[in-house]
């Protein structure tokens, strides 16, 4: 009896075929940063400015087929909140329509503030240099030190604010890998 079940399992398992899935690779220079397959989560901003945080249903013919869920916090009569899926939306994007990975900027713009501080620090440093050359009696080393410090702080905020991966900048690129048997 055991041999018959074992023989039947071998026959059934040899008849099963797996379907390969296409995938997309994010590369920096020639190094793979991340791979996106069917069944994974992806978060990106499109070239038209739409932000998507969705589940990849499948990838076929250079196109990502996505499903995005609308999740809401709903208050109960007892005073606490539950999360509920209010609906879902389906989208299809060509992989070249992805402009950047990461969240769209909301609220406080860290990189914009850093750029303002850096510009102001450079301007105050140059003004202190002019005052030093023209009238050394009115020159303030404390103002020069503070302006250099503000410029350095602005530079650090500017670098900390750029968390998104922009396709096409700093050698980032996308590659579509076709492994399915279907022809285009």
Contacts by 47-51, CB closer than 8 A, 24 or more apart: 47/97, 47/98, 47/99, 48/97, 51/103, 51/104
Q: Confidence class of residue 57 from pLDDT cuts 50, 70 and 90?
A: very high
Q: How confident is the model at residue 19 (pLDDT cuts 50, 70, 90)?
A: low
pLDDT at 56: 93
Average pLDDT over residues 111-132: 89
Q: Which residues contact 60 (CB under 8 A, 6 or more apart)?
A: 22, 180, 182
Q: What is the pLDDT at residue 170?
A: 77
- The pLDDT of 156-171, averaged and rounded, is 78
- The whole-number pLDDT of residue 162 equals 64
């Amino acid at each position: 009896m055991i041999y018959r079940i074992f023989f039947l399992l071998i026959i059934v398992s040899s008849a099963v075929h797996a379907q390969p899935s296409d995938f997309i690779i994010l590369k920096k220079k020639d190094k793979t940063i991340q791979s996106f397959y069917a069944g994974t989560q992806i978060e990106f901003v499109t070239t038209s400015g739409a932000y998507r945080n969705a589940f990849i249903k499948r990838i076929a013919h250079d196109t990502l087929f996505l499903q995005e869920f609308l999740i809401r916090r709903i208050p109960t009569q007892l005073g606490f909140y539950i999360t509920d899926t209010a609906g879902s939306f389906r989208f299809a994007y060509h992989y070249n329509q992805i402009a950047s990975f990461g969240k769209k900027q909301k609220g406080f713009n860290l990189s914009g503030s850093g750029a303002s501080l850096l510009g102001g620090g450079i301007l105050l440093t140059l003004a202190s240099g002019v005052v030093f050359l023209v009238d050394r009696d009115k020159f303030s080393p404390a103002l020069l030190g503070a302006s250099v410090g503000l410029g350095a702080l602005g530079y650090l905020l500017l670098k900390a604010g750029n968390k998104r991966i922009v396709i096409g900048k700093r050698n980032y690129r996308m590659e579509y890998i076709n492994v399915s048997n279907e022809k285009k």
